[in-house]
Amino acid sequence: MKALITGASSGIGRDMARVLASKGYHLVLVARNEEALKQLAKELKEKEKIEIETIAMDLSIVENCKEIHKKVQNVDILINNAGFGDCGNFTKTSLEKEMNMINTNIVAYHILMKLYLIDMKAKGNGKILNVASIAGFMPGPLMATYYATKAYIVRISESIREELKKEKSNVQISILCPGPVSTNFNKVANVKFKMREASSIKVARICYQKIRTR
């Protein structure tokens, strides 16, 4: 079994890699941070007898997403996890950063989900997990763009799930919608939540149990 995980260099993506490695999955790990990917691959290879491929790539670039699909075939689980946020008044935040966020949080998810879903439907099985957020269900003043990106992921995933259900397809699509999780997200987004943050490894373990048993 092979799993492709984006945003695998830290946080939920990294811990999903750890969980899947412990279950014997061969992994393709994608992120921009090449050194972090190499360190994770080394860690996992020392513990598990699995194949691991690392790809250092910026998924905010459309052609890179298409290249991933061409390069990585026969995927059993796709975990769309790459993403980041930003905090501040909408008129004062960086337009460039927001465009990069939209490309990473929406466009990359959309491309990879569509291309791999076509493959999975053709072979009659497969699982896609889109990492969204509780933010996808509510407005987000001071984080307007981030909340909007997660709302997109929630709605398109729900819509595709209904399509698959009507087709009686064996392909599964799921959404992970946690609240604040203890990851590098807060640093990148320049935000501090007052709520208690969940452990990313616990989130990853629960998530695996849910997608495995469905």
**Complete domains list, the chain, with CATH:** 2-213 (3.40.50.720)
Q: What is the pLDDT of residue 98?
A: 97
Q: Measuring CA to CA, how many Å separate 187 from each of 63, 93, 138, 176?
A: 28, 15, 22, 21
Question: Which residues lie closer than 8 Å to 90 by C-beta, 6 or more apart?
Answer: 144, 145
Q: Hey, CA dihedral for 206, 212, 148, 81, is it positive or negative?
A: positive
Q: Is the pTM of this model over 0.85?
A: yes
User: Mind listing the pLDDT tens digit of every residue in the chain (214 residues)?
Assistant: 999 999 999 999 999 999 999 999 999 999 999 999 999 999 999 999 999 999 999 999 999 999 999 999 999 999 999 999 999 999 999 999 999 999 999 999 999 999 999 999 999 999 999 999 998 999 999 999 999 999 999 999 999 999 999 999 999 999 998 877 666 555 554 555 556 677 889 889 988 888 875 5
Q: What is the pLDDT of residue 211?
A: 84
Phi, psi of 144 (to 5 degrees): -55, -45
The C-alpha atoms of residue 69 and residue 67 are separated, in whole angstroms, by 5
Provide the terminal-to-terminal Cα distance of the chain, rounded to the nearest Å: 17
User: Is 147 in the active site?
Assistant: no
Exactly one of 109, 150, 152, 208 is catalytic; which is it? 150
User: Is 38 in the active site?
Assistant: no
Exactly one of 146, 147, 152, 208 is catalytic; which is it? 146
SS3 at position 5: strand
Continuous H helices in the chain = 11-22, 34-47, 62-71, 95-102, 108-123, 144-166, 185-189, 200-213
Helix (H) or strand (E) holding 61: none
